[in-house]
Structure 1
Amino acid sequence: MGKALMVQGTSSGAGKSLLVTALCRIFSNLGYDVVPFKSQNMSLNSAPSIEGGEISRAQYLQAIACRKRPSVKFNPILLKPEGKMRSQVVFMGKPIGSVSAKDYMLSRKEELFKKAMKVLDELKEGHDLVIIEGAGSPVEINLKDYDIANMRVAKHADAKVILVTDIDRGGSFASIVGTMELLSEEERELVMGFVFNKFRGDASLLRPGFDYLEKRYGKPTLGVVPYVEHRLPEEDSLAEFPKVKGELHIQIIKLPHISNFTDFEPLHWANGVDYVTKAEEITGDVIIIPGSKNTVEDLLWMRENGIEDAILQAHREGAFVVGICGGFQMLGREIIDEVESKRGNVKGIGLLPAKTVFTRKKRTNHLKANVLWGPAGGMGVEGYEIRMGRSLSERPFSVITSVNGAKTFEPEGAIGERAFGTYLHGIFHNFAFTERFLNFLRAEKGLEPLSIEGWSIEEEIERFARVVGENFDVERILGELSL
């Protein structure tokens, strides 16, 4: 039977996801057979698994860090918010219904928790180490009795728990003390030690605080991780991105049900982007409509708020318009939806020669494709699809050549006049394509071409894990786990 190590946080945004990612790579580099696990994740940033279902983007990244193919076993329960206090419930990669928060807590949670723990048992049985990510804070008084992602998981797995806090926010010692005081005695015993994350400065100045924690709780500080500039996706990163008007003014519509906004991280790094929610803000050289958890409702929101008209006006004045997944569907001529919104026939924005029909079966696949859009014509790209719509276009954006490794020939997306749409999530993570796309638009403005430095997720995981490993008591953790 393998061991279990769990990372919990004193709050949301403490850095649990990336710390687990780093630990996955650190222990994988040491030769251990490691897998990640999170019993329940609430996120609109999802990715496909090897089984064809979808999991959180965080566990997808952690699987890569473990050098494993992403599996639904790593994130059995995924909640995808739909608005109005409701979420779609995805279990083992497949949607099983839409419920209110109250109904989920009272009727579905316990059943799914028991099933998720069986999955965790299987992972422990089959691997040396399972590194588990908690959710939010383990001691929220109003939620603790219903919590199936923190201490109940740790108890079940007999896991050693690392408690991490974001010191960059301030109040980190108080947040650790408050968390420890609200844990039961049995739960406190599971805590191995503390980690201070995102620190800027001289760590020796924190020594009095470390001594206080060790004296009060008998637990050491296991690490002080410095603030690291990185290019790894973070689940809550949308709230952290500043509005940046680069040399190219790239604007992204911040839809009410926006999903998979990690698609646009390379544009942040290469140029800067500006998220907009009002019609009067739309003045960009490039306007992007992202993916959506509720395509038709978000299209109607844009229509009612004048954003659709503003996009059309900007397009007439020369703006380039892009749609990704749900955004692509919106830019077509028509959407027929009797599944997601049940609105039936809905007129699209009309910038792309495409028609979309929603079906009940969701496609979740890794894709390889050849681009047909002129400036990048013939270029090979990779990405993934998570969609319920099927679209027909007179002028496809690309031809899918591989689905989960199996050869195919399937047109997808659409090309319009100064516009394109695609189902390929992650299209901008193909840096050669992004460089070609941006330089095509820069040339129109008389700007010098830019070169996007080669980068890979593997290199970034290694770099981030190296920093964490240098500032972490890995030997102590190995000893505590008897590895």
Structure 2
Amino acid sequence: MTQKPPAAKLMIQGTSSSVGKSVLAAAFCRIFYQEGYRVSPFKAQNMALNSFVTAAGGEMGRAQVVQAQAAGIEPDVRMNPILLKPSGPTGSQVVIMGVSQGNVTALRYHGEYQRMTWPYAQEALHGLLNDYEIVVIEGAGSPAEVNLKSNDIVNMRVAMEANSPVLLVADIDRGGALASVVGTLELLEPEERALIKGIIFNKFRGEIALLQPALDFIEERTGIPVVGVVPYFKIRIPDEDSVAINEAVEKPFVSTADQLDIAVIRLPYISNFTDFDALQDEPDVSVRYVTELDNLGNPDLVIIPGSKNTLADLRFIHESGLGAQVYKFWKEDVPIIGICGGYQIMGRLVKDPLHTESDLEEVSGLGILPMVTEFYPQKHTVQSKGTILSTQSFFQACLGEPVEGYEIHMGRSMPDEGHQPLFELTSNGVSYPDGLQAGNAYGTYLHGIFDNDSLRMSLLNWLWQRKDRVRPCTATQSQAALRESAFNELADLVRKSVDLERIRVIMGLSSHVGLRTSADVQKTIERIDLVEG
């Protein structure tokens, strides 16, 4: 029996957070997938409020879900065995191998709790190394955080466990990139520094010839080759955390004749804001995030998003005055949509008697939807499919059509009797109602609701009709097609921006599973394009 050759590895670490590690890891996953390899992403520990539910019901970080999609495989909790979901200023909910373990303070986690999670990361890593030909590993923050290194389970400890070569990524757009590279290398231990096999400068704007002296300096100073300079780009790949939406906060809407104004309430503990990517992809839609009453304006639609701390966010929405204005909008027939935590916020009352999410025990809701929500220790994490039941407003155009998404919530909402649900959902063979409406207010637990193309088109057409207008664009691509196109565009950009042959040598690919021929690569890309089309 022929023994399977060991998997090739490539780890992407950064000089700091938000240098582009997640997106570059996704790019390499797509590149190797295009070349015919069986490739998987891996990140030992993620801290993010954007999460996803796998087909098996496990919860994991959204970044590794995106990377799995880029690799053409189904998400697996082994790709992100530890997920931290911040629930307060000093604590996070800890999810291990897809299952919530409750809230833990940062001080406790960075002590014995983090040491306890390392075996899970080890097992997941080696499982993927056994099952795939290539594993693309992502680090977190910087490997040179000296106050955190003793309990590190995501950066150099993983690289050494996997014996993986590391590419160090710096964001050259923010300035200080040369110093950050040199400083990071200086703070690493000799055995850690030996694993850094290449440097990538990301988000470059300008003429590469003007940068060349800096690249020569870095190579001479560190002895490590610069294997790529990736230009600044705007290819829509879902973001891992809230850094991206911070740029959109409080940007006033500039009214145009060809765009709808959709205002998303930017809750302090906003989660799963990737729910709105599908809306942002539409050319006739402007999605903006609002934290202050003065900036709310007169939107065509208000969305209250998911939350990792619903009671704290509900208190914020009351104290900011946004809650009263949203209620006023509802009375004036302005459409309101709440998703998950936003759905709970729209009810009469939210109760957390066991302090599952918060120190608060109960907070009055906005009183828009006729229901009460109570939190329980057991988290409900499922992928759901179902049909549309509602006959009201924009649902009329897609009545009876399929709908799908995923649920992540610890609250259970009990509507008053006599109210028809929006959807009939099925998960694990069990059917149940979901969602509620009152006037032009709608709430659901279903994340990814706007990824359903028919429902999204019905909603946008209806919003234009309310303005006595026909929608200015007749058709848009499906979310699946847009996602595939973005992955291929990203892969093409990174291929042109890095020394891929040198990276393959660094990974030892030629001695592992053999390089695919250029003809094989082209056939694979054509196959992907055919599926996409």
The aligned amino acid for 1:103 is: R
Deviations 1:396-455 (A, max 9, x none): 12222x43xx55532201111011011111112233322321221222123440435204
The answer to whether the 8 Å contact 1:391/1:412 transfers is: no
Which of 61, 70, 74 aligns to 1:69? It is 74
Structure 1 CA distance, aligned partners of 2:120 and 2:278? 37
**TM-score normalised by L of structure 2:** 0.85
Partner of 1:257: 269
Work out which of the residue numbers 404, 424, 427 in structure 1 matches 2:449.
Answer: 427
Q: Does 1:58 align with 2:63?
A: yes
Would you say the 8 A contact 1:280–1:310 is kept in 2?
A: no
Cα drift, residue 344 of structure 1: 5.2
Aligned residues: 480
Match of 2:490 in 1: 464
SS in 1 for 2:386: strand
Partner of 1:412: 434
Aligned to 1:274: 288
User: Can you list the C-alpha shifts for 1:32-91, whole angstroms capped at 9, x where unaligned?
Assistant: 221111111100000012331100000111111122211111111100001121111111
Rounded to whole Å, the distance in 1 between the matches of 2:167 and 2:328 is 53
For the 8 Å contact 1:14–1:164, the answer to whether it is kept is yes
Give the 3 Å change call, closer, same or farther, for CA 381–227 of structure 1 in structure 2.
farther
1:364 aligned residue: 381
**Structure 2 matches for 1:87-236, cutoff 5 A?**
87-236=92-241
Q: Which amino acid aligns with 2:37?
A: Y
Deviation at 1:26, TM superposition (A): 0.9
After superposing the two structures, state which structure 1 stretch, 307-316 or 351-360, moved more: 351-360
Match of 1:285 in 2: 300
**CA-atom RMSD, angstroms?**
2.0
Aligned twin of 1:348: 365
Q: Which moved more, 1:227-236 or 1:337-346?
A: 337-346
How far 1:371 sits from its partner (Å)?
Answer: 2.5
Give me the whole-angstrom Cα distance separating, in 2, the residues matched to 1:204 and 1:343.
58
Identify the residue that residue 305 of structure 1 maps to in structure 2.
Answer: 320
SS in 2 for 1:338: coil
Q: Within 1, Cα distance between the matches of 2:328 and 2:193?
A: 59
How big is the shift at 1:345? Answer: 5.6
Does structure 1 retain, via aligned residues, the 8 Å contact 2:182–2:222? Answer: no
Amino acid of the structure 1 residue aligned with 2:293: A
Q: Which moved more, 1:273-282 or 1:125-134?
A: 273-282
Tell which deviates more after alignment, 203-212 or 286-295.
Answer: 203-212
SS of equivalent residue, structure 2 residue 40? strand
**Is residue 2:389 matched to residue 1:389?**
no
Aligned residues of 2:121 and 2:153 also touching (Cα < 8 A): no
Separation (CA, whole Å) in 1 of partners of 2:216 and 2:362: 65
The question of whether the paired residues in 2 share the 8 Å contact of 1:39 and 1:148 is answered with yes
User: Contact 1:282–1:311 at 8 Å: present in 2 too?
Assistant: no
State the 1:244 CA deviation.
5.1
Alignment-mate amino acid for residue 130 of structure 1: V
Question: Is the CA contact 1:285–1:318 (under 8 Å) kept in the aligned structure 2?
Answer: no
- AA of the residue aligned to 1:79: L
1:334 alignment partner, one of 334, 345, 349 = 349
Q: Is the 8 A contact 1:335 1:347 kept in 2?
A: yes
Question: Within 1, Cα distance between the matches of 2:188 and 2:361?
Answer: 50
Q: What are the equivalent positions in structure 2 for 1:30-49 lying under 5 Å apart?
A: 30-49=35-54
Taking the TM superposition and a 5 Å limit, the aligned residue runs for 1:467-478 are 467-478=493-504
Match in the other structure for 1:399:
424
**Which of the numbers 21, 26, 34 marks the counterpart of 1:21?**
26
**Residues 162, 191 of structure 1: 8 Å contact kept:** yes
Equivalent position SS for 2:73: coil
Q: Which runs of 5+ in 2 are unaligned?
A: 1-5, 510-533
Alignment partner of 2:245 out of 227, 235, 238: 238
The structural deviation recorded for 1:334 is 3.4
Q: CA 1:301–1:326 in 2, change beyond 3 Å: closer, same or farther?
A: same
Residues 232-277 of structure 1, C-alpha deviations (whole Å, 9 max, x = no match): 1111322233525254332111112111111112333332223222
Report the identity percentage: 45
SS in 1 for 2:130: helix
**Cα distance in 2, alignment partners of residues 114 and 213 from structure 1:** 37
Q: Quick check: 2:11–2:165 contact (8 Å CA) kept in 1?
A: yes
Distance between the aligned counterparts of 1:433 and 1:212, measured in 2? 54
Work out the CA distance in 2 between the residues paired with 1:57 and 1:303: 30
One-letter identity of the residue aligned with 1:359: Y
Q: Is the 8 A contact 2:315 2:363 kept in 1?
A: no
Give me the whole-angstrom Cα distance separating, in 1, the residues matched to 2:503 and 2:448: 35
Instruction: For residue 141 of structure 1, report the CA deviation from its aligned partner.
Output: 3.0
After superposition, the Cα gap between the structure-2 partners of 1:155 and 1:438, relative to the gap in structure 1 and judged at 3 Å, is same
> Whole-Å Cα distance in 2 between the matches of residues 358 and 477 of structure 1?
49
Q: Deviations over 1:365-399 (max 9, x none)?
A: 22223233432332333211111223344121222
Give how far 1:349 is off: 1.7
Amino acid aligned to 2:374: V
One-letter identity of the residue aligned with 1:39: A
State the one-letter code of the partner of 2:368.
Answer: L
User: Any idea what SS the aligned residue of 1:211 has?
Assistant: helix
Q: Contact 1:8–1:162 at 8 Å: present in 2 too?
A: yes
Between 1:296-305 and 1:23-32, the stretch displaced more is 296-305
Counterparts of 2:124 and 2:448 in 1: how far apart (Å)?
29
Q: CA distance change for structure 1 residues 454 and 87 in 2, over 3 Å: closer, same or farther?
A: same
CA contact (8 A) 2:314 2:363 kept: no
